[in-house]
């Protein structure tokens, strides 16, 4: 097995996880790390690593020994660094969101498809055992006709200096939703509010409408006193609730549903409720990030197609842009109404 030499751009919170995970995968050898902060590079020196350390990410990308680049820098830099790496013929794994705009994402996809470089986006939740199980339940018809996807993704902070809450937390739900349903939404709408930074919403509510009559709703917030990561999916046969912070029973399946008589058989709407058993299936418990890195290596080697390639990343950025357009309009309306009331 040929070992791929990796360079890591960014040694912050997620960059540290990437370094640990790449270092533990036999498909890769981390040879270089870049970070603007001297104390971040100092920590690596103190650890006695033999890594080449760069203050500038562009220096790492230009390193001739680096064959693949993992980009874990602020979102505004993703396009510039990924583009530079692809043009140099290097494989790229970029953090979410892939880019700051759909136009940038489209350019990266086109560049990657014209080259031999692999472009992948780290939508880590696609490798979570609960998401895989939900996809299996949905695709097999075990849930029946799905009517809603409801997500509560809230916590207290961390307030990002360059991203609003939609672009920080929203990619998780958009990527999970897209992976489960694989359906283009008819309409995306969003509202929100800026409490801390006048230009960066810290609470957002997103609603997504599908032709299949599925409606998805995301509650995204940095203002909650508690951290919650919970998704509920309602079907005509079964309903599923995934609580990612529940260590014992992350996923619960409710054998419950609502049915209606045929229109010609009723004089008024009278639903029938079915309340059945609840069970918690065993889900794959391997670390999702380790599976992301393994998938990256297998895609580079041509062993499997990517489930989170550049085109998938583009779809998510496009959805984020559509939500942002609606959110901006809502914020302008709220601001005008507030001024009129003063």
Three-state SS at 1: coil
Q: Which helix (H) or strand (E) holds 275?
A: strand 272-279
Q: What is the pLDDT of residues 117-158, one digit of tens each?
A: 999 999 999 999 999 999 999 999 999 999 999 999 999 977
Q: Which helix (H) or strand (E) holds 331?
A: helix 310-341
Distance between CA atoms of residues 188 and 321, nearest Å = 10
Distance between CA atoms of residues 83 and 115, nearest Å = 11
Q: 153 pairs with which residues across the strands? A: 220, 229
Distance between CA atoms of residues 328 and 320, nearest Å = 12
Q: What is the pLDDT of residues 80-105, one digit of tens each?
A: 999 999 999 999 999 999 999 999 99
Distance between CA atoms of residues 119 and 337, nearest Å = 44
CATH 3.30.310.50 fits 4-122, yes or no: no
Domain boundaries, the chain: 4-122, 126-286+322-329
Residue 43 scores a pLDDT above 60:
yes
pTM above 0.85? yes
- Fold assignment, 126-286+322-329: Dihydrodipicolinate Reductase; domain 2 (3.30.360)
pLDDT of residue 257: 67
Give me Rg for the CA atoms of the chain. 22
Roughly how many angstroms between the first and final C-alpha of the chain, as a whole number? 69
Contact 11, 40 (CB under 8 A): yes
Contact 39, 64 (CB under 8 A): no
Three-state SS at 153: strand
| Strand ranges (E), 119-171 | 119-122, 146-156
Distance between CA atoms of residues 189 and 3, nearest Å = 45
pLDDT of residue 211: 97
Nearest to 241 by CA among 163, 323, 134, 325: 134
Tokens standing for residue 225: 């006193």
- Residue 16, judged by CB atoms within 10 A of its CB (0-12, 13-18, 19+), counts as middle
């Amino acid at each position: 097995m040929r070992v791929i030499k990796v360079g890591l751009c960014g040694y912050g919170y997620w960059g540290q996880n990437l370094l640990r995970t790449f270092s533990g995968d036999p498909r890769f050898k981390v040879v270089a790390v870049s970070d603007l902060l001297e104390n971040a590079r100092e920590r690596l020196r103190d650890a006695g690593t033999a890594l080449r350390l760069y203050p500038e990410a562009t220096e790492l990308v230009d390193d001739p020994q680096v064959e693949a680049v993992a980009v874990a820098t602020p979102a505004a830099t993703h396009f510039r660094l990924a583009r530079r790496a692809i043009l140099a013929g290097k494989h790229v794994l970029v953090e979410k969101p892939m880019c700051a705009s759909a136009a940038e994402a489209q350019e990266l996809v086109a560049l990657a498809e014209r080259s031999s470089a692999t472009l992948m986006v780290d939508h880590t939740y696609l490798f979570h055992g609960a998401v895989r199980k939900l996809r299996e339940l949905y695709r097999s018809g075990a849930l029946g006709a799905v009517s809603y996807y409801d997500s509560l993704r809230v916590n207290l902070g961390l307030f990002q200096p360059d991203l609003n809450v939609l672009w920080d937390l929203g990619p998780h739900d958009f990527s999970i939703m897209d992976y489960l349903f694989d359906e283009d939404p008819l309409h995306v709408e969003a509202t929100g509010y800026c409490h801390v930074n006048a230009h960066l919403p810290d609470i957002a509510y997103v609603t997504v409408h599908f032709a299949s009559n599925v409606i998805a709703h995301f509650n995204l917030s940095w203002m909650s006193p508690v951290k919650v990561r919970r998704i509920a999916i309602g079907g005509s046969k079964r309903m599923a609730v995934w609580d990612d912070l529940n260590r014992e029973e992350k996923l619960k399946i409710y054998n419950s549903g609502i049915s209606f008589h045929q229109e010609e058989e009723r004089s008024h709407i009278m639903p029938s409720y079915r309340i059945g058993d609840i069970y918690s299936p065993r889900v794959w418990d391997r670390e999702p990030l380790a599976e992301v890195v393994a998938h990256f290596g297998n895609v580079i080697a041509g062993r499997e197609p990517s489930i989170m390639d550049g085109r998938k990343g583009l779809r998510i950025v496009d959805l984020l842009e559509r939500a942002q357009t609606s959110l901006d309009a809502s914020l302008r309306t709220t601001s005008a109404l507030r001024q009129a009331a003063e």
